[in-house]
Every structure is written in C-alpha cells, then in structure tokens.
Amino acid sequence: MATRRGPNRRSAERLELITRTASVEITKHGFDNLSVSDLAEAAGLSVGGMYRYITTKTDLLVMVCRSIYDGVREQLGEIAAGDGPHDEKLRAAIEVYLRECENRQAQIAMVYREYRRLPEDAQRFFMSRERAIADVFADLVRAGRAKGVFRPVDATVVATDIVFLGHMPSFKGWALRGEVTPEALRHEQVELVLRGLRQAE
C-alpha cells in the first residue's frame, strides 16, 4: 500500500524541485535572462503554481543561495565533536567540505556572480552560514594548537583559507581540467593545509 504524502511534505518536495531547477536555470542563463514561465515549464509546474512559493523572481535567487550550504555545517560539527587525533579530525572535516563544494561548484560561482542582487538579509544569511563553517575549522585548529599538534598560527586566517580553497574549482576549474582529478585535487589541498600546520620536527 502506497504511503500518502501530507501537504507539508508535498510543499517541501515542491520547494526542493523549484530550488533545484532555479539553480540549473540561473547557472545556465544568468539571473537577468531567467524567465519565471520558462522555469515553471522546466519544473513541470504552472506559473500560478510557481507563485504559490515565491513572490518575486528574486526569491528564486534567494532560495538557491540558501540551499548551497544545506547540511554542511552539521556534518562538520559532527566530525569536530567526535573522537580521534586533532589532525585527523581536521583532515576529515576539510575533505567533507571540499567534496560538498565540488558538488556545488556551479552554484558557488553563480552566487559570486549574482551576489549583489540578493536582498541584504539574504546576503547576511549566506555570510553567516559561511562564517559558521569557518568557525568549525578555526575551532579545530585552535584545539590542535592548544595540544601542541599544530604550530602557533592565526586560526581565523587558516579557516578562511580553507573556505576559499573549496571555492577555487568554481573559478579555476578550467585550469585543472584534464590535469588533475577531483580526488587528487582534494588530497593536495588537504595536505597543503596540514603541512602548513604541523610542528617542525
């Protein structure tokens, strides 16, 4: 017997569909060229059905931006709260973050391109999510520094560098394409950070 889906679940699924479709369309055509009617058609919805979930076209951009870091901070927090050596926890956290950025590189590039069009509250929301991710990395670095695993460094600077490393393929992927695999890139980026943190022997 099929499970009946309630209205809340249907609404959540519809919002996810709209967000996913808007992400593809904005990335492909740019926000200026985005047509709500074309988006509705791509999502298999009527224009009226689309406007049950948005008020203006800008809402679509906000929805995409809000979705980029969904669940990433929680994954990193679980790693940070777990057991194990400080350097291995940092390694695991960076790998998860880089992989998530790799999966979202088109959306990340789109946010940089369209950021000025976001309302101020949406800009603040995006910055706060990014800052929360950086805070996890900074806390991991500070913990390792306190235990003598890492050399004295500015944890905030290192955390900001890690966040930007995740964005690099969104801008310089063309320079790496055909030269290095995503797995090899992640490995080199992780080692770059950890080599810079380790105490000299």
Alpha helices, DSSP H, located in the chain: 7-29, 36-43, 47-50, 58-67, 72-81, 86-103, 105-114, 120-146, 155-176, 182-197
Domains and CATH numbers, the chain: 7-65 (1.10.10.60), 68-197 (1.10.357.10)
User: Which pLDDT score, from 0 to 100, does residue 2 have?
Assistant: 43
Percent of the chain with pLDDT over 70: 96
User: Between the CA of residue 122 and those of 51, 55, 63, 74, 198, what are the distances in Å?
Assistant: 19, 15, 9, 20, 38
- For residue 164, the model assigns a pLDDT of 94
The pair phi, psi for residue 43, each rounded to 5°, is -90, -5
- The whole-number pLDDT of residue 139 equals 97
pLDDT in tens, 106-160: 888 888 888 888 899 999 998 999 999 999 999 999 999 999 999 999 999 999 9
Query: What residue ranges of the chain have pLDDT lower than 70?
Result: 1-7, 200-201
